[in-house]
Amino acid sequence: MIFDLIQQRRSVFPPQYNDRPIAKKDIEKILEAANRAPTHRKTEPWRFKVIQGDKKAELGEFLSNTYIDITVKPKQIKAKKLIENPKRAAAIIAICMQRDPNESVPEWEEIAATAMAVQNMWLCCTAMGIGSYWSSPALIEYMDEFLPMNEGEKCLGFFYMGYFDEVLPESNRNPITDKTVWIK
> What CATH number is given to the structural domain containing 51?
3.40.109.10
Look up the domain containing 35 and give its range. Answer: 2-179
What average pLDDT is seen over the chain?
96
The answer to the question of residue 184 being in a domain is no
Residue list for the binding site: 9-11, 36, 40, 134-136
- pLDDT classification of 97: cutoffs 50, 70, 90: very high
Number of domains in the chain: 1
Sheet holding 46-51, edge to edge: 46-51, 91-98, 153-163, 130-135
Terminal CA-CA length for the chain: 31
The answer to the question of residue 160 being in a domain is yes
Residues 111-126, mean pLDDT to the nearest whole number: 98
Q: Length of the chain, please?
A: 184
Q: What is the pLDDT of residues 70-81, one digit of tens each?
A: 999 999 999 999
Contact 92, 4 (CB under 8 A): no
If one compares 118 and 169, the residue with the highest pLDDT of the two is: 118
pLDDT value, residue 115: 98
The answer to the question of residue 175 being in a domain is yes
CA 72 vs CA 65, 78, 104: distances in Å: 13, 13, 40
Residue list for the binding site for FMN: 9-11, 36, 40, 134-136
pLDDT value, residue 171: 85
